[in-house]
Chains A and B, each alone.
Chain A
Amino acid sequence: MLWKKILAVAVVTGAMLLPALAEQPQVAMYGYHSEVTVFWDPAYSFSNEIIWMHNVYETLLRYDPFTDQFQPVLAEGYERSEDGLTWTFYLRRGVKFHTGREMNAEAVKGAIERTISLGKGAWYIWDAVESIEVVDDYTVAFHLKYPAPMDLTVAACYSAFIFDPAYDHDWYLQGHDSGTGPYTIERFEGNTLMVLEKFEGYWGGWEGNHFDKVVFKTVPSPSTLRLMVESGQVDIAYQLPVSDIQALKDNPNVRIVHTPSFQNLLALFNTQKPPLDNPLVRRALAYTIPYQDVIQGVLAGYGRQARGVVPYGLWGWSDRVKQYTLSLETAKLLLSEAGYPEGGFKLLLTYVSADENERRVAELWKSQLAKLGIELEVRGMPWDSQWELGQAPDPTKRQDIFLFYWWPDYAHPHSFLSAMFQTEEEIVFNLCYYSNPLYDELITRAAELAGIDRAESINMYVEAQNVLMEDVPGVSIYDMEYVRAVNAKLQGYVDNPAYPHVVWWYNCWRG
């Protein structure tokens, strides 16, 4: 009798296990170093949450900066009028929001208008829009105040999501979503865990290899994150310390993926406060930055020295732009010319205290300046304190050097060249307090041409950057590379620097 019982138990357990095995869902895991959610509302989104939002919400187009091409997503095609003032988008048919409603021209208009009227996130990318017209159910037209590249705008990383406009902010705060994307929110815990499950009615369908669930988890300790990558628990991780990256390189289970990013580290000089009001001194400083030491010692080689201000890989970058190198002799000559042969002055550099890389760059620079008799005070501050000091009413009370990162709101050189260097009545990001009418003219013209004649536009951006390199209101030190440790089995993953840290999990599978 006993063996019968055992058999029965075995059969029953086996029967219980089998479907479990067969239905074992494919789960992808994204280990993120910071909170995975800051904003819940797609119209508010301006932070880390884009890493999951781009899987839940979609944009009309998606931009590939390497080929400078647009990929159709919710729009199947588009055209631009001769004068660049009207852009017409033809929408994909049969797309459903997760809320059950249909995605049509009315919804697109509603979503974008909600984003603009809320004034949150990067709403200003829509600044050129005069009105949005519903031409028919599946055609929507943007009428512009001035020519602007709307294809870039609708493909922006922030504030370009198409959502069901029927819901308000509070509804999103409760953890709901209203996107059209392949995944929808299953559950979440605070800001540190987000679990997405597949949306059965996704317009792309679920044929072939896809993940059923995607987990986004905050793992603040880099050491833990590294362990999780090594053990295969996490499929992708970012912001590991360079020493860990070096160690992971030899691990066959891990692939190190590094791609040029559109993020660069800049030092903005206070052009209104002695001694940096003197262009000679500023130029001298540009010769004192240990560019190569920074790239080797801080980035472990994962980065490249910046050229101009536009990062490598973004249109507008060019080898025709002047580049500075470390040369203390040249710097000394320039300083003598400016009347500071022995240095003898003190400069205040501010950076964001939580950022270890910025701190290291500042320290490396400090040790070079010391050799020229210049004392660099390195002050780490929370971002808003740093920023507020930079906006102090009296320019002489402000810092001398403002160290910070810039990355574009949308893939356009204008994002770099206008925000930081264009004349500003009230200081927002022109933290070098630079004002040059010739330069302003150049970039304004270039921006207008961008939607019409790209090549000429680039020429003007190059010229504008050479003006900057001559006046040196600031120096871009390096263009970052995004270095990620990826599970070697993960397939289909392509890094797209126009959407920092976003992985389109629908396109990925485990081989």
Chain B
Amino acid sequence: MGGRLSYGLRLAGRNPLTLVGLTGVLVLGLIAAVAPWIVPYPQDCRGATDVGEQFQPPSLRHLFGTDELGRDVFSRVIYGARISLVVGIVTIGLALAIGVPLGVIAGYSGGLVDEVIMRVTDTFLSFPSLLLAMAISAMLGPNLRNAMVAIAISWWPWYTRLLRGEAISVKEREYVAAARAMGASWARVVFRHVLPNSMVPVIIQASMDFGGVILTCASLSFLGLGAQPPIPEWGLMISSGRTFFLTSWWIVTFPGIAIFLAVLSFNLLGDGLRELLDPKVRRRMLR
């Protein structure tokens, strides 16, 4: 295992961008973990307002300036990391919870079950995910929880499709056949043997999707279909600063940079992971 890790690190070293991504993700996680204790104005993240301080440009007192209700933008951007990470984890968890069982069942069962599940999957895949998430969120009523549900609903088909493919190849392996021959129940074969051995590509894909989910959630909030005030969600912050952005550029600029850096880090890391773990890409790199 140790050899594999150092090998991995060596490979990562060939692509400095992966290291950048990894560092970014770690920093983001760290900031999210300690946010409530390190921000200068924690009350501003919970909705306190101070009209006398509105529209202050960046200064030493307010590093990123203040917004239209006098709240410290820096504190809110830092705190927003926490929101975005939670959104990422919950949404992807939810999407996996829907997509994985369906995928493994489709792949293992084949036949009509497979056909039905995959046609449903195809249907959901034929909506661009942001559009479907928007429509669902608009219909359910906009708030952060519904936004997460909406994104998960538009996201699960990818996992189903991926897992199904993997399950089809895994079910032909000898140990699965052996388990079946020994009289293991259907559920046991599917969930103890096929599922664990088909999960790797899905896990890689899921880790790559964090960036996309964060971006989608920010877009929803920007359109008023996600987080509701006064939650310091980055997309929402940009949306509320929008009216004033030509006169008070700092209200929108900093949350945007935060989204960009978070998504960039996850994407770089995801790219690197794929190159590491996808044998086809690895072969090319080692050529």
Contacts and interface: CB of A to CB of B under 8 A. Distances in A.
Interface of A: 222-223, 241, 243-244, 247, 290, 293, 296-297, 353-354, 356, 359-360, 362-364, 366-367, 370, 378-381, 385
B101 interface: no
Contact of B54 (A297, A370, A379, A380): A297
B51 A296 contact: yes
Contacts of B49: 293, 297, 363-364, 367
Interface stretch (B92-100, B111-119, B224-232): B224-232
B203 to A, nearest CB: 36
Contact of A378 (B68, B228, B243, B244): B228
A243 B51 contact: no
A387 to B, nearest CB: 13
B121 interface: no
Contact of A243 (B48, B224, B248): B248
Contacts of A243: 55, 243-244, 247-248
B224 A293 contact: no
B246 interface: yes
Query: What 7 pairs between A and B have smallest CB-CB spacing?
Result: A297-B51, A367-B49, A293-B51, A241-B243, A243-B247, A367-B48, A223-B246
Given A297-B54, A380-B224, A363 B47 contact: yes
Nearest to B143: A379
B69 interface: yes
B68 A360 contact: yes
A370 B47 contact: yes
B141 interface: yes
Nearest to B225: A353
Interface of B: 46-49, 51, 54-55, 68-70, 141-143, 224, 228-230, 240, 243-248
Given A367-B48, A378-B230, A353 B240 contact: no
A359 B229 contact: yes
B224 A354 contact: yes
Nearest to B224: A353
Contacts of B68: 297, 360
A243 B267 CA distance: 38
B48 A370 contact: yes
A363 B69 contact: yes
A366 B243 contact: no
Given A297-B54, A359-B229, A363-B230, A244 B47 contact: no
B55 A360 contact: no
B44 to A, nearest CB: 9
A10 B142 CA distance: 65
Contacts of B244: 241, 243
23 contacts: A223-B246, A241-B243, A241-B247, A244-B247, A247-B247, A293-B49, A296-B51, A297-B49, A297-B51, A297-B69, A297-B70, A353-B224, A356-B243, A360-B68, A363-B49, A363-B69, A363-B230, A366-B230, A367-B48, A370-B46, A378-B229, A380-B229, A381-B142
